[in-house]
């Protein structure tokens, strides 16, 4: 029997309803609902212990859920494991290879009946010249790019990546981001688990924020920022003289989008919507004074939004398995 075809906007590649999983009496995933559609790059974000890793392990049939319904490519990950496994490419937190295993040997070892284009993948991810290199001799970024090659080798319909850039230096992270961006641009369906919120913002079309095994909110990164971290802040020092007056502060308060103006000696903080940034800039230019050299603009981002979501209740004890 052939696997069902998945089309953008049609049935989800991943459909989860009421997923629950506990360890030692502690609920790690709590009645979770999740959809991932064809061609999406979806990020699972949240603090340690949010249940992200346990969720993707259940999706791959590596753990058995206590209750709930899971369908991946229309199949049950446990009952249909033999049919489903070749359709999923994955890189998990615990991914590793023997130190002496060479790149070409790893590719041959992981290649299944559907494998194709190994040379093209090595070239695409900048590893063609590393075919004879042992795993131990590769940099962190090269290792993660190799895991991506292995995840894609068998032409999967879904790629699951769990903390792909954990422990990498900034340059290596950027390398791996570029590789994931290639998957996104090619229309590959990707489920990405990450603690790096700048990573989620850069790569994901949609993010699902989790805490204690539940979904707090989901949407595009911009959606979450707009709902939970709308406030931007412009900080600068007022020049001495006539400008440093209460009347000046009143002028700033009257600008469109401004919600609050505070002053600490010569330092002023103007808070408001993103629109307020433009109005404060225009006001500064209109004063005729040079732009303050200490001018700083703090724009809300996904990290701000997640912190606001997590701030709704006290943190709970984390579990490594989650």
CATH number of residue 47's parent domain = 3.40.50.300
Q: Which domain holds residue 50?
A: 14-227
Same domain, yes or no, for 211 and 274?
no
Q: Answer for the pair 116, 73: CB distance below 8 angstroms, yes or no.
A: no
Q: Is 271 helix (H, G, I), strand (E, B) or coil?
A: strand
Q: Using CA atoms, how far apart are residues 36 and 16, in angstroms rounded to an integer?
A: 9
Q: Is 50 among the domain residues?
A: yes
Q: Using CA atoms, how far apart are residues 137 and 180, in angstroms rounded to an integer?
A: 23
Q: Which of 180, 200, 227 is the last residue of a domain?
A: 227
Same domain, yes or no, for 51 and 199?
yes
Q: Is 75 helix (H, G, I), strand (E, B) or coil?
A: strand
CATH number of residue 258's parent domain = 3.30.70.250
Q: Is 142 among the domain residues?
A: yes
The predicted pLDDT at position 211 comes to 94
Half-sphere exposure of residue 155: CA atoms within 13 angstroms, side-chain side: 7
Same domain, yes or no, for 201 and 102?
yes
- Do you know the residue count of the chain? 322
Q: Using CA atoms, how far apart are residues 43 and 162, in angstroms rounded to an integer?
A: 10
Q: Using CA atoms, how far apart are residues 115 and 107, in angstroms rounded to an integer?
A: 10
Q: Answer for the pair 123, 61: CB distance below 8 angstroms, yes or no.
A: no
Q: Using CA atoms, how far apart are residues 160 and 47, in angstroms rounded to an integer?
A: 19
Q: Using CA atoms, how far apart are residues 189 and 304, in angstroms rounded to an integer?
A: 27
Same domain, yes or no, for 95 and 207?
yes
Residue-by-residue DSSP string for 156-213 = -SEEEEESTTTT--HHHHHHHHHHHHHHHHTT-EEEEE-S-HHHHHHH-SEEEEEETT
Residue-wise pLDDT for 140-152, tens only, equals 888 888 988 898 8
Same domain, yes or no, for 194 and 127?
yes
Strand order in the sheet with 296-298: 258-264, 267-272, 232-237, 296-298
User: Residue 241: which residues within 8 A CB-CB, separation 6 or more?
Assistant: none
Q: Is 313 among the domain residues?
A: no
Q: Which of 211, 227, 243 is the last residue of a domain?
A: 227
Element (H, E) at 236: strand 232-237
Same domain, yes or no, for 223 and 239?
no
Tokens of 131: 């075919």
Q: Is 317 among the domain residues?
A: no
This prediction has a pTM of: 0.78
Look at the chain and report how many structural domains it folds into.
2
Q: Using CA atoms, how far apart are residues 67 and 21, in angstroms rounded to an integer?
A: 7
CA-based R_g, the chain, Å:
24
Residue-by-residue DSSP string for 280-298 = HHHHHHHTTSPPPTT-EEE
Q: Is 320 among the domain residues?
A: no
Same domain, yes or no, for 220 and 240?
no
Same domain, yes or no, for 201 and 58?
yes
Same domain, yes or no, for 23 and 109?
yes
Tell me which residue has tokens 């999406």.
40
Q: Is 310 among the domain residues?
A: no
Same domain, yes or no, for 159 and 263?
no
- Closest-CA residue to 106 (of 161, 142, 147): 147
Same domain, yes or no, for 267 and 291?
yes
Q: Is 138 among the domain residues?
A: yes
Q: Is 322 among the domain residues?
A: no
Flag residues of the chain having pLDDT under 70.
1-11, 92-94, 240-246, 312-322
Same domain, yes or no, for 278 and 256?
yes
Q: Which of 186, 206, 227 is the last residue of a domain?
A: 227
- Closest-CA residue to 34 (of 72, 67, 91): 72
The predicted pLDDT at position 2 comes to 36
């Amino acid at each position: 029997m052939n696997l069902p075809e998945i089309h953008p906007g049609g049935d989800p590649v991943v459909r989860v309803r009421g997923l629950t999983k506990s360890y030692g009496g502690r609920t790690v995933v709590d009645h979770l609902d999740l959809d991932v559609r064809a061609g999406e790059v979806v990020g699972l974000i949240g603090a340690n212990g949010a249940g992200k890793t346990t969720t993707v392990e259940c999706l791959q049939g590596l753990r058995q859920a206590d209750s709930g319904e899971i369908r991946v490519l229309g199949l049950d990950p446990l009952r249909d494991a033999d049919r489903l496994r070749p359709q999923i490419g994955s890189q998990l937190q615990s991914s590793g290879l023997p130190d002496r295993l060479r790149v070409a040997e790893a590719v041959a070892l992981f290649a299944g009946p559907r494998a194709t284009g190994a040379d093209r993948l090595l070239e695409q991810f900048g590893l063609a010249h590393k075919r004879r290199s042992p795993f131990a001799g590769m940099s962190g970024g090269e290792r993660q790019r190799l895991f991506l090659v292995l995840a894609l080798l068998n032409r999967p319909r879904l790629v699951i990546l769990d903390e792909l850039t954990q422990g990498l230096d900034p340059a290596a992270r950027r390398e791996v981001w570029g590789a994931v961006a290639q998957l996104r641009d090619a229309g590959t369906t990707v489920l990405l688990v990450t603690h790096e919120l700048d990573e989620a913002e850069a790569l994901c079309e949609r993010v699902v924020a989790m805490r204690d095994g539940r979904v707090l909110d989901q949407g595009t990164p911009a959606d979450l920022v707009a709902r939970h971290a709308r406030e931007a802040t412009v900080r600068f020092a007022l020049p001495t003289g006539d400008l440093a007056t209460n009347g000046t502060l009143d002028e700033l308060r009257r600008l469109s989008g401004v919600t609050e103006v505070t002053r600490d000696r010569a330092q002023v903080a103007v808070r408001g919507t993103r629109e307020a940034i433009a109005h404060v800039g225009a006001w500064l230019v209109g004063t005729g004074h040079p732009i303050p050299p200490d001018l700083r603009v703090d724009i809300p981002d996904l990290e701000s939004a997640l912190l606001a979501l997590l701030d709704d209740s006290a943190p709970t004890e984390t579990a490594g398995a989650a």
